[in-house]
Amino acid sequence: MDASEITRIRDQFQGGLWPQFLERVEIKGLRGWKGQSVHFKFPVVAIVGENGSGKSTVLKVAASAYDPKAKENAYYPSAFFLETHWDKIQGVDLGFQLRTGDQSQTFNIRKPTERWSFPDKRYARNVFWFDVARTLPLDGTAGYAKVARLAAGEIATEDLSEEYRQRLSYVLGRSYSNARFAKPDVNEKRVVGLLKRDFGEISQFHQGAGEDTTLDLLQALQEVPNNSLVIIDEVEASLHPRAQRRLVKFILEFCRLKRTQVILSTHSPYVLEELPPEARVLLVPTPDGPDVLYGISPEFALTRLDELVHPEAYVYVEDRTAEAWLREIIAQHPEGASLLARIRISPVGPANVVRMMGGLAQARKLPHKAIAVVDGDTDANLGCIKLPGEHAPEKVVFGGLKEKSWSRLHERFGIGAGDLHTYLDDALLNPDFHRWPALVGDRVVKSSVSVWETVATEWCRVCLSPTDRDRIVDSIRTLLGASA
């Protein structure tokens, strides 16, 4: 993640520098949606979820929010949500909240029976929609087979701008000396993209899928006016992980420079890792329609999309720090090893996400058994239990060991007690307690993860009370249906 770029965008966004912004959509009566809202809290937002969870529905509803400024970029619910012999589209209510300048407006688009009804006043904005059709190979797109067979020359050509050609090279990790779009003499409306590399020029008929889709996307983006709404379905399509990361970094900069709003859908943790927590939205299917979770971690999103492991229950925590500490606490119990083999401890993001997952588990709205474990400095709600102490894990663990004169940590680290105690005491002077394991690691030449696991293990040996241990373990045993 480019932290400096994220900070610049966040500061400018909070300063009101996006004059047009879609703040919220509410969906009722479409594909299982029963009035849930999706809020957009950052200029670039990624919607993630399983197939059929509602990602495309959110994107299509968002694209329908505005009265288009350009006829060719007109998007209406009637085009996205077709009524067919098998699909009756009725009882639909789409709610929108827009910000224009410092004013927010709300309105609804409805289809109670046969016709869509729109408000008397709609707000104009340029909207650009990039659906999965862009990933089709050129020779599989309507009209291009004839171009491939019969084209004998070009009647015009237009170069991709120098700036965007360099961006293309960066995203794909290849040096392109030229990128252009030719109008063939067979049909000037069927434009063909060409890329020039060291071995010569190659058309989109023979480019790799990632080259093809990214070339088209960047050509379109360079023409997008300021303050537009850009929607991209499956942004990672055909791209390897490094290219996915670089494309998102480009989109973030593009968003800042043009003050655009970008809404993406994705299945990729690599995309999520390049975005801040407020830019990640997970859709979780339930019998009552999708639950909308904000600020989820990329790791948690991946567990929702990948079921290679089949635990009997999930235990949700904030981050890897809490995960490692909780694992050590459970391991101290005589039945700890067997319990750990039956559960999956999953970091999901900030405390509000952990609490929300606990609430969903308590209400039995998740497709599996689950419990949430919040840090000691967070209030627990239904479906949640707390880690030991009244503070963040680092403060509890380091503070507890300091009271024990650092116990036998010097033996675990294999260095003299005098030196280690100096390193530990110096680290605790830093007000950012999240950095304490890294600061110690820099001195003892170990990773922050290794340091945290070591101090967490020693804390469990000398500071963990049987009451705290059994409270946590008993909650998990009850969840699994074990006898008390």
Q: What angle do CA 465, 470, 475 make, to 5 degrees?
A: 140
Same domain for 84 and 14? yes
The verdict on 204 and 75 lying in the same domain is no
195 & 153 share domain: yes
Angstrom distances, CA of residue 163 to CA of 160, 167, 441:
8, 6, 42
CATH number of the domain within which 32 lies: 3.40.50
Q: Which of 191, 220, 249 is the last residue of a domain?
A: 220
The pTM of this model reads: 0.68
Instruction: Spell out, as residue ranges, where the chain has pLDDT lower than 50.
Output: 482-484
- Phi first, then psi, for residue 349 (nearest 5°) are 130, -160
> Do residue 118 and residue 15 come from a single domain?
yes
- Do 53 and 103 share a structural domain? yes
- At 210 the pLDDT is 84
How many CA atoms does the CB half-sphere of 473 hold within 13 Å?
23
Q: Are 77 and 109 in contact (CB under 8 A)?
A: yes
**Residues 79 and 114 both lie in one domain:** yes
Say what the pLDDT of residue 146 is: 66
Residues 413 and 451 in one domain: yes
pLDDT value for 10: 93
425 in any annotated domain: yes
For 204, the token pair is 């989109």
Q: What's residue 285's pLDDT?
A: 84
Whether residue 382 is found in the same domain as residue 246: no
List CB contacts of 145: < 8 A, sequence separation 6 or more: 139
In a domain, 294, yes or no: no
- Shared domain check, 408 and 381: no
Domain with 414, as residue range(s), is 393-462
19 neighbors 101 (Cβ within 8 angstroms): yes
Tens digit of pLDDT for each residue in 70-110?
Answer: 666 678 888 888 888 788 888 999 999 999 988 899 999 99
Long-range contacts from 414-419, C-beta under 8 angstroms, 24+ separation: 415/444
The total of structural domains in the chain comes to 4
Residue 49 neighbours by CB under 8 Å, 6+ apart: 55, 282, 283, 284, 285, 290, 304, 305
State whether 313 and 418 are in the same domain.
no
**Which of 191, 193, 198 has the alpha carbon at shortest distance from 213?**
193
**Is residue 293 one of the residues assigned to a domain?**
no
Under DSSP, the state recorded for 160 is P
Beta strand segments in 42-84, E = 44-49, 67-68
Q: Where does a domain end: 282, 315, 330?
A: 282
Tell me what pLDDT residue 298 has: 79
Residue 291 belongs to some domain of the structure: no
In single-letter form, the type of residue at position 389 comes to: G
Asked if the structure places residue 298 within a domain, the reply is no
The tokens describing 258, both together, are 């043009």
Write out the two tokens for 386: 């707390």
* Percent composition of the chain: helix, strand, coil (DSSP 3-state, to 5): 40, 25, 35
Residue 42 domain-assigned? yes
Predicted pLDDT of residue 305: 67
50 and 63 share a domain?
Answer: yes
Q: Per-residue DSSP letters for 379-434?
A: ---TTEEE-SSSS-HHHHHHHHHHHTTTTTHHHHHTS-HHHHHHHHHHHTTSS-GG
104 is a domain residue: yes
289-321 burial, b for 16+ CB within 10 Å, e for fewer? bbbbbbbbbbbbbbbbbeeeeebebbbbbbbeb
**Does one domain contain both 252 and 183?**
no
DSSP reduced 3-state for 352: helix
